[in-house]
Structure 1
Amino acid sequence: MTPMKEDYLKIIFELGGKSKKISNKQIAMGLNIAAGSVTEMITKLVEEGLAKHTPYSGISLTDKGIQIAEIMVRKHRMWETFLVEKLSYKLSEVDDDAEVLEHVTSEKLLDSLDQFLGYPTHCPHGGVIPDKEGNYQEDSHTLLADVKEGSTVVVDRFIDNRELLNYLDEIDLDIGDKIQVIHHAPFEGATTVKLIDNESKVDERQISYKAAHYVFVQDD
């Protein structure tokens, strides 16, 4: 399997494609590619029995696709954890090197890395790491963009995307932040939120339309 196909399986998995339908637009935005390229690759994944496509509804993974995605996610997120915890990489720096390392990681090396890191369950940007047997707690799939105005939520995880992580670093939004959604501007406008810190102070900021679709949250 090519690295590009593996990347598609990973992003569909990250977006919740194990249990729900994901749109071509979401995949294109997540991988920073043209929508036309997504259509072509999805056709290939369906033909190989890795994904299911429902017209006007979206794409989800088959059992075979899920199994491969879980293995790739485990490798990628394990390396991200190593790079951040042991080599002091910034979160926005880890993706490229983790991407290279995951494709050359043997099962033996992965098991040794898992033990060395103390069997981590989540990567630095909040994503779950399946264990050796494929067990893991499901990720949150509630998008910040879908939270009702007035609701208070906690930032749970970010999509693994360098551009996104750099942006979130600039606006100082982190895993575990408690935020109240104030307003979703129409026509793909920004989402305005209040950030509530541990001292109950409030800091208002705007999060772009695209970023709000790649920040996942949980109920407070």
Structure 2
Amino acid sequence: MTPMKEDYLKIIFELGGASEKVSNKQIAISLNIAAGSVTEMINKMVEEGLVNHEPYAGISLTDSGRKRAVTLVRKHRLWETFLVEKLNFALPDLDVEAERLEHETSEKLANAMDDALGHPKRCPHGGTIPDRNGNFASESHLILNEVKDGETVTVARFIDNHDLLTYLGDIKLDIGDKLKVNKHDPFEGPVLVTNLTDKQDLTIGYKAAHYIFVE
């Protein structure tokens, strides 16, 4: 399987495609790829039995696609956790290293890391880590951009993206922070929020708001 298809499997899983349908637009924004390219790749993955695609409804993982995605996500997030806890890596630097390492990681090594780390349930950016039997805790798939004005939410996790994590570090947005959504600017403008934890007003870009999951 090509690295690009693996990236698609992982992002569909991260967006909630193991249990519900995700849109072409969500995948395109998350991978920073044109919608037409996403459609082309999804059609190939449908032919290979990795995803289901219902027009106007969305995309979800098949049993085969889900199994492959869980394996990839588990190895990737175990490495991220190891890099932070044992080697003191910064959050924005994790994805590239974990991406390289996951492809060379056997199940035996993944299980050994899991044991050494004490069976972590979440990776450093909040994503669930499947166990060795493929089971994983539920997680929120509500993105910040979908929260209505006036509502208060808690930051649950971030998409694993170097530029995003660097940006969130700069504005000091952390997992567990409570946010009050004040306003969505029109025409794909930013989301204006108040970080109630740090007592700071923040302006979060349209794309970044698609990468932040809240509950």
TM-score normalised according to structure 2 size: 0.96
Equivalent residue, structure 1, for 2:25: 25
Equivalent residue, structure 1, for 2:200: 203
The question of whether the paired residues in 1 share the 8 Å contact of 2:15 and 2:141 is answered with yes
Aligned-residue offset at 1:155: 0.2
Equivalent residue, structure 1, for 2:59: 59
Aligned-residue offset at 1:33: 2.3
1:127 lines up with 2:124 in the alignment: no
In 1, Cα distance between equivalents of 2:62 and 2:56: 18
**CA offsets 1:154-192 (integer angstroms, 9 cap, x no match):** 100001111211111111111000111111111101101
TM-score normalised according to structure 1 size: 0.94
Equivalent residue, structure 2, for 1:42: 42
Paired letter, 2:138: E
Equivalent residue, structure 2, for 1:176: 176
Superposed, 1:93-172 pairs within 5 Å as 93-172=93-172
The question of whether the paired residues in 1 share the 8 Å contact of 2:22 and 2:60 is answered with yes
Over 3 Å off, 4+ runs: none
Question: What percentage of residue pairs aligned between the two structures are identical?
Answer: 63
In 2, Cα distance between equivalents of 1:187 and 1:152: 23
Equivalent residue, structure 2, for 1:212: 209
Q: Which moved more, 1:28-37 or 1:128-137?
A: 28-37
**CA offsets 1:101-148 (integer angstroms, 9 cap, x no match):** 011100111111111111111000000001111121111111111111
Paired letter, 2:67: Q
Equivalent residue, structure 2, for 1:85: 85
The question of whether the paired residues in 2 share the 8 Å contact of 1:3 and 1:103 is answered with no
Equivalent residue, structure 2, for 1:69: 69
Aligned-residue offset at 1:58: 2.1
- Three-state SS of the structure 1 residue aligned to 2:53 is strand
Which ranges of structure 2 fall in alignment gaps of 5 or more residues? none
Q: How many residues align?
A: 215
